[in-house]
Amino acid sequence: MCSDKVILALMVLCSTVAVADEAIRDTTRLEARPVTCVAVHRGQTCFKRIRLSWTTRMTGRLCVLRDGAAEPLVCWMGGARTDWEHDYASADGERYRLVVTDADGVPLDTLATTSVDTVWVYRGRRSVSGGWRLF
Amino acid sequence: MSLHKSIGTLLSMLLASPFVAADTGGALESGGYLELGTAVYAERSIRVRLDGEDRRPTDTGAGLYVAGAWRKGRAFVEGRRGGVDGASLGVTLWYDERRTLELLAAHLPGSVKIGFRVGEDDVGADSDDRDRNAALLGRDQVVGTSGLRYREYRGDTLLQASAVADWQHGNGLLLGLHVGHRWQLGNWNLQGIVGLQGAGADLVDYIYGVDEDEATTRFAAYRGEDTLFGEADLKITRALGRDWVLRSSLLVRHFGDGITDSPLVAAADALSAELGVAYVF
């Protein structure tokens, strides 16, 4: 009984440490440059090297995640890293999250988000049976 | 300013608009776009030069690039400067998910150029030989055609068959079979087209024939014949910004005897290359 209380107390303590307070969250920034990738024809995948940069006072283990991806783009401890170059390749766009994680890499809290979108020069026309574009 | 075609580039550009913006497919979507820009070009004509037996030197220059397509329901208008495409006003007669059959009500094969008309066409029989030679080599001719175009889309491959008839001058026929494929290499877009065309004798004669009353000491009378010619076109495009594209194209054509036997022609292969930047509205 006593040990259960100790475990519970430790869990609460850990979660309190891992979750950022509002002050940290308000000053945390995650940016992507550039924020758009331009391909020629609608529906095409666009390729671009994106620079993700961040500022935060959060300590602990931090990662940048791409939504939908199983693995984080990059992880580090404390202020050891402030940017990362990512090879963007998407037809729809990508959303990134700066998160604090536990030691196993499990996200505990999202500190900031940003996104990159794909746009097309010929964006007003429907794809034809697999996407022929004639100009 | 007037729309015109020079004789030397006309038949080398004759093509029933194989891949001009027929963005139809499984459903007809109204709308369109306009592209304006500038391009530098180099063209190697098959025509003989006026002052010698060799072919003309490569023509280089810079010009306005215009392309566009617009559709409202089944009706469409499309065209572009340069390359293998022409200008068309047409109607989609039938379509399904991957096939279209279109009536080209008015179709200008080849490349429409915008420039000042030289006006050398009407040189009288009493003109001297040099003037008449110049008139034969420099005459402007526009061919207005109508016909049918069938397209079938197979993923990134496009098959096309076309048949148009010149309703302006003798109703010569122009038949075409083309295959196109496109690739995306990173943000570069490549589009390759190969095709075979058959031009009827009347059409060839209109463009490369020399009538008895036009014949000169140098250019004997010549009657055009049914002719096949092959062509290959490679286009490369890349986005430069949200509304800007870089585009380039390389077009090669090989003409058959019905054309190359003409005294106005000095070579069998024509070549043109273009590089430009365009704004897409």
Instruction: Answer whether residue B161 shows pLDDT above 70.
Output: yes
Whether the predicted model's global pTM rises above the 0.80 cut: no
Instruction: Please indicate whether, in this complex, the C-beta atoms of A40 and B25 are within 8 angstroms of each other.
Output: no
CB contact under 8 A, A133 and B24: no
Mean pLDDT of A38-47: 93
Interface touch B23/A44, C-beta < 8 Å: no
Domains in chain B (CATH in brackets) are: 2-280 (2.40.160.40)
What pLDDT was estimated at residue B142?
A: 67
Instruction: Find the radius of gyration of the CA atoms of chain A.
Output: 20
Identify which of B31, B158, B238 has the shortest CB distance to residue A40. Answer: B238
What pLDDT does B110 receive? 57
Q: Name chain A contacts of B19, Cβ cutoff 8 Å.
A: 134
What is chain A's length? 135
CB contact residues (below 8 A), chain B span 169-188, against chain A: 180, 182, 184, 186-187
A132 interaction partners in chain B (CB closer than 8 Å): 23, 153, 156, 158, 180, 182
Mean pLDDT of chain B: 80
ipTM over 0.85: no
Which residues in B lie closer than 8 A to residue A125 (C-beta atoms)? 23, 29, 31-33
Pairs of residues, one from chain A and one from chain B, whose beta carbons lie less than 8 Å apart: 85
Give the pLDDT confidence of A72-125 residue by residue, as tens digits.
999 999 888 999 999 999 999 999 999 999 988 888 999 999 999 999 998 765
Cβ-based contacts of A124 with chain B (< 8 Å) = 31-33
Residue A13 has pLDDT above 50, yes or no: no
Residue B253 has pLDDT above 90, yes or no: yes
Q: Which of B23, B239, B243 sits opposite A128 (nearest CB)?
A: B23
Q: Phi/psi class of residue B10: alpha, beta or left (left: φ > 0; alpha: ψ in -120 to 50)? A: alpha
For residue B114, the tally of other CB atoms under 10 A from its CB is 12
The region, left, alpha or beta by phi > 0 then psi within -120 to 50, assigned to residue A3 is alpha
Q: Is the model more confident about A2 or about B81?
A: B81
In B, which residues are within 8 Å of A134 by CB distance? 19-23, 69, 191
Residues 6+ apart with CB under 8 A from B126: none
* 3-class secondary-structure state, position B264: coil
- Measured between beta carbons, which residues in chain B are less than 8 angstroms from residue A129? 25-26, 97-98, 153-155
Bridge-partner residues for B25, per DSSP? none
Which pLDDT score is estimated for B119?
40
- Put simply, the answer to whether B155 touches A130 (Cβ < 8 Å) is yes
User: Structural domains in chain A?
Assistant: 22-122 (2.60.40)
Q: What is the per-residue burial (b if ≥16 Cβ within 10 Å, else e) of B153-166?
A: beeeebebbbbbbb
Would you tell me which residues 37-56 of chain A have a C-beta closer than 8 angstroms to some C-beta of chain B?
A: 38-41, 44-48
Half-sphere exposure of B175 (CA within 13 A, CB side): 6
Contacts of B23 in chain A (CB under 8 A): 125-126, 128, 132-134
CB atoms inside a 10 Å sphere around CB B131: 14
Nearest residue of B to residue A119, measured between CA atoms:
B242
